[in-house]
Amino acid sequence: MEPVKIGLLGLGTVGGGTVSVLTRNAEEISRRAGRGIIISHAAAKDYDADAISGLDQVGIITDDAFAVVNDPEVAIVVELIGGYNPALELVLKAIANGKHVVTANKALIAKHGNEIFAAAQEKGVTVAFEAAVAGGIPIIKAMREGLAANQILWAAGIINGTGNFILTEMRDKGRAFEEVLKEAQALGYAEADPTFDVEGIDAAHKLTIMGSIAFGVPLQFEKTYTEGISKIQPQDVVYAGELGYRIKHLGITRKTEKGIELRVHPTLIPERRLIANVDGVMNAVVVMGDAVGPTLYYGAGAGAQPTASAVVADVIDVVRALTTDPENRVPHLAFQPNALSDVPILDMEDVETAYYLRLQAIDKPGVLARVTRILGDAGISIEAILQKEPAEGEVHVPVIFLTQRVLERNMNQALRQIEALEEINGGVMRIRVETLK
């Protein structure tokens, strides 16, 4: 049987890794796919030829990406250039030309996936995107296929390695956020502009995709609540540890009676939870199914070879299904397109969670009572209180509260009143708490 020819867009970190994996494991891949797979056409404007093993086995290399998607011999287009443009135009053109698409582009899928999948459905082609979430961890396949018998109740994940590396260093070495961020940039974990990583945008792209697959709703990135880790102080990491928790930057999606939660934010997790012990640049996702219970997926969330592992696995899946009736292929978002539901995405104020609160209060009688009264009037029950010693020469002391679960709307109202007290210095540091039971 003739080998399947693929066109590769991008020869950067992931593109180079994909070439290496496909050529190095060509025999094993052929055995799994049922036929050979070769890269007949690739496009890149800038790449390091000496750093990519197996590049000599690529057919044509050009700087014209549209030449690849218009090549009649290419059956599968692998898009690894990232971003929105020209990636969207290239993917839609490939689909219009009747080609299957594999992509690692989480931003593209999160923001334009509904349009892309509709076009693919009309043309009877597949768009595969395993590498778009959690790098080499096969979380999309696990949720879409491995857990297909379950109603998924919730999923929570560390899905950005840069943020996890920073929080790990802050905990283990007591370092400040800014200092660790500079090291992350020097090590190549964070970009020169780290906004997407540290402010949660990258994780929000991935969570949007996970939420759609978990609950069968259209992709709605603009409704995902997003909060970063740049305000986390070393003292918060220490106090969380004293209370038996660790701070992780989580993406959480949960189905409730009122709607679906989609939220990315720093979160206190009990230190006994397995996911609380995922450190460094590693990723992990916990998925709770009604039949299977909690399942944990752990591994490298980025990097040339781990991400290429997911890309090539998608290519193999597409090759296996080339002769399958389009109506009988695995749906892009797990549910059949005509079965997607319009369950609303909850506003963050309608989400219920517990909280860690840290405030700076004047060390005098009655202040703590005023704060607890405000919390009580808002229906907020207190789980624990820590009052620390003031620093030398300071009149304000750190006071830490752990609360029970309450609507975010009620907490916001209480925090406005607490911050208005003249005995409180500055704003209240608020970190949400999840037990992940």
pLDDT in tens, 85-112: 999 999 999 999 999 999 999 999 999 9
- CB atoms near residue 393 (< 10 Å): 5
Q: Is 347 within a domain? A: no
Please state the pTM of the whole predicted model: 0.93
Q: Which of 5, 99, 111, 206 is catalytic?
A: 206
CA distances from 425 to 362, 377, 428 (A): 8, 22, 9
User: Do 145 and 293 reside in the same domain of the chain?
Assistant: yes
According to the model, what pLDDT value does residue 412 have? 97
According to the model, what pLDDT value does residue 155 have? 98
User: Do 194 and 158 reside in the same domain of the chain?
Assistant: yes
The answer to whether 150 touches 292, Cβ cutoff 8 Å, is yes
- CB atoms near residue 206 (< 10 Å): 28
Residue 388 designated active-site? no
According to the model, what pLDDT value does residue 197 have? 95
Q: Is 212 within a domain? A: yes
According to the model, what pLDDT value does residue 331 have? 76
User: Do 155 and 275 reside in the same domain of the chain?
Assistant: yes
According to the model, what pLDDT value does residue 130 have? 96
User: Do 108 and 73 reside in the same domain of the chain?
Assistant: yes
User: Do 78 and 152 reside in the same domain of the chain?
Assistant: no
Count how many domains the chain has. 3
According to the model, what pLDDT value does residue 417 have? 97
CATH number of the domain within which 335 lies = 3.40.50.720
What range defines the domain where residue 384 resides?
352-433
Structural element, H or E, at residue 308: helix 304-320
CA atoms within 13 A on the CB side of 287: 24
Q: Is 344 within a domain? A: no
Question: Within the chain, which residues score under 50 in pLDDT?
Answer: none
According to the model, what pLDDT value does residue 323 have? 72
User: What is the per-residue pLDDT across 342-361, written as a single tens digit (0 to 9) for each?
Assistant: 899 999 999 999 999 999 99
CATH number of the domain within which 250 lies = 3.30.360.10
What span, in angstroms and rounded, lies between the C-alpha atoms of 77 and 257? 41
CATH number of the domain within which 372 lies = 3.30.70.260
User: Do 424 and 293 reside in the same domain of the chain?
Assistant: no
Q: Is 199 within a domain? A: yes
Q: Which two structure tokens, joined as six digits, stand for 126?
A: 């597949």
According to the model, what pLDDT value does residue 327 have? 72
Where among 269, 300, 331 does a domain terminate? 300
The answer to whether 164 touches 280, Cβ cutoff 8 Å, is yes
According to the model, what pLDDT value does residue 269 have? 98
User: Do 32 and 116 reside in the same domain of the chain?
Assistant: yes
* Closest to 386 in 3D by CA, of 367, 403, 399: 399
What span, in angstroms and rounded, lies between the C-alpha atoms of 250 and 155? 10
User: Do 245 and 314 reside in the same domain of the chain?
Assistant: no
User: Do 417 and 330 reside in the same domain of the chain?
Assistant: no
